[in-house]
Amino acid sequence: MKHISIIVPEGQSNLGTVACIVGAYEIFTRANDYWKEKGKKQLLTVELAGVSKNTDFHEGLLTVKPHTHISAIGKTHLILIPSLAHDYQTAVEGNQLLLDWMVKQYKEGAEIASMCSGAFMLASAGLLDGKKCSTHWSAADTFRTLFPKVNLQPDKLITDEKGIYTNGGGYSFLNLVLYLVEKYYDRQTAIFCSKIFQIEIDRQSQSAFIIFTGQKQHGDEMVQQAQAYIESNLHEKISVEELSSRFAVGRRNFDRRFIKATGNTPVEYLQRVKMEAAKKAFETTRKTINEVMYEVGYSDVKAFREVFRKITGMSPLEYRGKYNKEAA
């Protein structure tokens, strides 16, 4: 029988942390019950594991009592890390015992899955270096700054590489749990849990939920000026050559500095800023697709639709129908 450890972190957690712990425990427990109802032997033992007898959350509003201390677990097969509070560095520093234990277990063959901002704990242990990773889109810039060796992919809902799983933000951890249920049980059990808990199965992207603001916490003044120019001239069709010459920087050097500062190529940044403005227009106005397209500097409907779908995972029409009841 395999063992799953759901981590109960110490301090710097929030109600989202509790949601991850409770949600994962409930779904895995139900998967166990379903498996036994089919006349099969129980596959997994699921335990909450921590370093204290009780852990308080949200100023004592809720208390979680782990089943066991991590030192009592000789071997586990899967470790689940819940989301953390937004003071990530303090959260990581306060959980060093848990980190050391996780690294040891991983080296001995355990798999590890992080939910939402739990990826910060994984990355701080060096376990994500050179690997793909996702986290909450709102934490992406901070994550890139702290962990430049990690291949962050904030558009992805789930990553799966070398026994390490990560997922996007908020309650999308439920999709990760379904993914793991399928891995550890089978497809039919995952479908059953999907139906019982009414969670969309096989979601691949968190693109539609991203609110793009652009990485501004860097010290490159030229890039900041370029960002400001892009954002104040949405209606224009701006080329990267035009931008680089405007700031008297060679194209190759301009690209290099822009990527280093923002995590995006200049073309990606242009597209994301324009599509964010288009999304807002579709959410709040009755403007047609053509009207919005012209407002953000596109004249080719096909090109506009392709870029919009690439960034949001939906067509402009689908997006407007989803987020603007009046227009729909």
> Which pLDDT score, from 0 to 100, does residue 91 have?
62
Quote the number of domains for the chain: 2
Asked whether residue 212 is domain-assigned, the answer is no
> Which pLDDT score, from 0 to 100, does residue 55 have?
80
pTM for the predicted model, two decimal places = 0.82
> Which pLDDT score, from 0 to 100, does residue 177 have?
98
Q: Pick from 267, 261, 263, 208: which is nearest to 237 by CA? A: 267
Structural domain ending residue among the three candidates 207, 242, 271: 207
Structural domain ending residue among the three candidates 207, 231, 258: 207
Asked whether residue 317 is domain-assigned, the answer is yes
> Which pLDDT score, from 0 to 100, does residue 142 have?
87
Domain of residue 309, residue span: 221-323
> Which pLDDT score, from 0 to 100, does residue 327 have?
66
229 shares its domain with 167: no
293 shares its domain with 240: yes
237 shares its domain with 185: no
198 shares its domain with 249: no
265 shares its domain with 295: yes
261 shares its domain with 177: no
- Per-residue pLDDT for the chain (328 aa), expressed as one digit of tens each? 899 999 998 766 788 899 999 999 999 999 999 999 999 998 999 999 998 888 878 777 788 899 999 999 999 999 999 998 777 776 677 688 889 999 999 999 999 999 999 999 999 999 999 999 999 999 988 898 889 999 999 889 999 999 999 999 999 999 999 999 999 999 999 999 999 999 999 888 888 888 888 888 888 999 999 999 999 999 999 999 999 999 999 999 999 999 988 888 999 999 999 999 999 999 999 999 999 999 999 999 999 999 999 999 999 999 999 999 876 6
24 shares its domain with 158: yes
Asked whether residue 64 is domain-assigned, the answer is yes
Asked whether residue 216 is domain-assigned, the answer is no
Q: Pick from 65, 107, 103, 61: which is nearest to 81 by CA? A: 103
Asked whether residue 288 is domain-assigned, the answer is yes
> Which pLDDT score, from 0 to 100, does residue 2 have?
94
Task: Specify the CATH number for the domain of residue 297.
Answer: 1.10.10.60
CB atoms within 10 A of CB 114: 31
Asked whether residue 127 is domain-assigned, the answer is yes
Structural domain ending residue among the three candidates 174, 207, 240: 207
Give the tokens for residue 111: 């798999």
Task: Specify the CATH number for the domain of residue 123.
Answer: 3.40.50.880
